Amino acid sequence: MKRSAVLLVSCPDAKGEVASISDFVYRHGGNILHADEHADGDSGLFLMRVEFDAKDFDIDLSQADLADFQKAFSAIAEQFHMTWRLALSSHRPRMIVFVSKYDHCLVDLLYRQRSGELACEIPLIVSNHADNQRVADFYQIPYAVVSITQDKKQAAEGRIRSLLEEHQADFMVLARYMQIFSSDFVNRYPQRIINIHHGFLPAFMGAKPYHQAFERGVKLIGATSHYVTEVLDDGPIIEQDVVRVSHRDTVEDLIRKGRDLEKVVLSRAVRWHVENRVLLYGNKTVVF
């Protein structure tokens, strides 16, 4: 297992930021493995991801709150007005997967996690249907069925919050979970809910995007993975991809081709989130 740490930084763009961060890592015994940065001209914002080997780092990174690192880094952070966080490669975040009846994205995520492609834990699967119990049993993962009706939605979300707390969820993935969370629920978990939308956003939002695409006679269909916000299908986009279709394709053909896209696009977004490669600014993301 790698003994590396990832420092994610966003702040107003100014001279000396890269040099100061690099010098800080060097002075404390770290060796930079990867460094990526982006300066957004429109917003004047600077974003950076630095991964460094922490084997000889002289600051204790074993504390849960990283208090020693925060104290040592505070002078640079205050000088450049930085918003930052540090993540350790040894930490395997706990991902709760939500699914309804369609199982293709769920099975793909479970396989990739089991094979080691996704460096996370999956302590629980939540669904509003019992259909995928057999999949959960095969992978030996607890499966909770929480039915949601319009008149009992608040109670259902309360039950889900209890499950998330019980299983110590770091983030959630909606793997074709055909339910819309309330604004109150979403706002409790900012940047911690990843969704896959079976359409190329911002086109064809909402229900049945493949049917909408077929009616418009499009030549490309797509899939979009994004962070969930209180506005439906409007959260910051992490990843997208497309596949070509033709006038010969039926709606069923579009759905079949789209399912392949959905799996790949969602798994990429989850992997980048787990590897701390995503930085948000406004309603956009930078993926390093």
Residues that are catalytic: 233
Are 81 and 51 within 8 A, CB to CB? no
CA distance 29 to 40: 31
CA distance 275 to 88: 9
Of residues 255, 105, 120, 279, the one with CA closest to residue 195 = 105
Contact partners, residue 234, CB within 8 Å, separation at least 6: 202, 205, 283
CA distance 46 to 55: 28
Number of H helices and number of E strands within the chain?
Answer: 8, 13
Compute the chain's Rg from CA coordinates. 21
Of residues 69, 88, 82, the one with CA closest to residue 28 = 69
Phi-psi map region of 174: left, alpha, beta (phi>0 left; psi -120 to 50 alpha): beta
CA distance 287 to 272: 7
CA distance 175 to 140: 18
Helices (H), 17-128: 17-27, 67-79, 104-114
Q: What are phi and psi of 91, to 5 degrees?
A: -80, 125
CA distance 164 to 170: 9
